[in-house]
Amino acid sequence: MQAGRWFADLDVALFLNYYRTEGPALEIPRDALGNSGVTDFGIDRLDAGLKIGYKDLTLNTRLIRLEQGPYFGLLLAVNDESDLDAWFALSELAYRHRFGRNGSLSARTYLVQGMEDFYWELLPEGTGPFTDGMIGNPSGEEQMRGFKAQFDYRAAEAHLLTVGAVVERKSVYDTKHIANFDPLTGAPIGPVQDITEGGNYIREETRAIWAVYLQDDWDVTDDVNLVFGIRHDRYSDFGGTTNPRVAAVWHFARGWDAKLMYGTAFMAPTFSALYFINNPA
């Protein structure tokens, strides 16, 4: 479902999607334990969003709620109790304003919040010493908030100059691990219990980020365009990186371009890549 309407300088749009399926119940003649069964990939998903614009301001919000089955299971053992539960929420306030014919400013501040609660029945009831099944239940929350601003200015007719900055903060927190086994050895530890203190699955961490960038988009002639840019990012948990970009475009015939580009880029490692712990895999 979606709808939208204009009210003079105000525009409003919204959407709502709901999806539910039991998924394909595929026959499994033999799993890792020699048991037979069917896959469980039921999905229950809600996706809703609201956008409100007023003159130079725009507010965007979105909520995603997801619950689904494990399909097969982490240890390739058929089970009937695993449940993967998550939700994500986004709020963004954006501003864009033109200064005459040559300048424009865009800025946005945003907040992204997420929660994951994964109940895994790794092995079904009655497997070896796990009379109630081998249970692992990691959960936690993530938050990202930040601010970005960019100014574009056309200097004369040939140069479009862009300068921008980013400030961002990411956190993973309220992490918890409930289980009835040792996460490193797989040995049973009795009933399902909170093992967060000595057996959590990830460290709680915060990352602060700032970045600045500059670019010149230069129309050398009607047929030749050059782009020069540079960006520096600084991360509180592992340092900084500077990346240049150079591009040349030649419009040598109608509908035909030749491009020559050079640049470097950097993708910051995720919290999972850096801070996962107590995981033998």
Each residue's pLDDT tens digit, 181-190: 999 999 999 9
Smallest CA-to-CA distance from 161 within 106, 214, 212, 95 is with 214
Model pLDDT for residues 106-120, shown as the tens digit of each residue? 999 999 999 999 999
Spatial separation of the C-alpha atoms in residues 98 and 221, rounded to whole Å: 26
Does the structure show a pLDDT above 70 at 66? yes
Distances (CA, A) of 58 to 17, 61, 94: 22, 10, 5
pLDDT at residue 38 above 90? no
Question: Which one, of 153, 85, 91, 83, lies nearest residue 120 by Cα?
Answer: 83
- The pLDDT value given to residue 81: 86
Percentage of the chain lying above the pLDDT 90 cut? 74
Q: How far is CA 180 from its chain centroid?
A: 30
The helix/strand/coil state of 153 is strand
Tell me the per-residue pLDDT of 112-144, one tens digit each, with 9 for 90 and over. 999 999 999 999 998 989 999 999 999 999 999
pLDDT of residue 216: 96
pTM confidence score: 0.86
* Predicted confidence (pLDDT) per residue in 69-108, tens digit: 887 778 888 888 889 999 999 999 999 999 988 999 999 9
Match 């289980």 to its residue by tokens. Answer: 179
Distance of alpha carbon 234 from alpha carbon 275, whole angstroms: 19
**Torsion over CA: 184, 189, 193, 197 (sign):** negative
pLDDT at 67: 94
Calpha distance 2→14 (Å, rounded): 6
Distance CA 148, CA 167 (A): 6
175 contacts 192 by C-beta, under 8 angstroms: no
Q: Are strands 103-123 and 10-21 parallel, antiparallel or unpaired?
A: unpaired
Could you read off the pLDDT of 223-234 as tens digits, one per residue? 999 999 999 999
Look over the chain and give the mean of its residue pLDDT values, rounded to a whole number.
Answer: 93
Give per-residue pLDDT as tens, 239-261. Answer: 999 999 999 999 988 889 999 99
For the chain, percent of residues with pLDDT exceeding 70: 99
80/121 Cα distance (integer angstroms): 8
Give the model's confidence band at 35: pLDDT under 50 very low, under 70 low, under 90 confident, else very high.
confident
| Residue 168 pLDDT grade (very low, low, confident, very high; cuts 50, 70, 90) | very high
Place of tokens 């709620």: 65
- AA letter at 111: L
Q: Which CATH class is domain 2-275?
A: mainly beta
pLDDT of residue 280: 53
Q: 79 versus 263: which is more confidently predicted? A: 263
Phi-psi region of 124 (alpha: psi -120 to 50; beta: other; left: phi over 0): beta
| Domain boundaries, given as residue ranges, for the chain | 2-275
The tokens for 65 are 């709620």
Contact between 85 and 141 under an 8 Å Cβ cutoff? The reply is no
Strands (E), the chain: 2-7, 10-21, 27-28, 37-38, 43-54, 57-68, 83-99, 103-123, 134-155, 159-181, 188-194, 205-219, 224-235, 239-253, 256-263
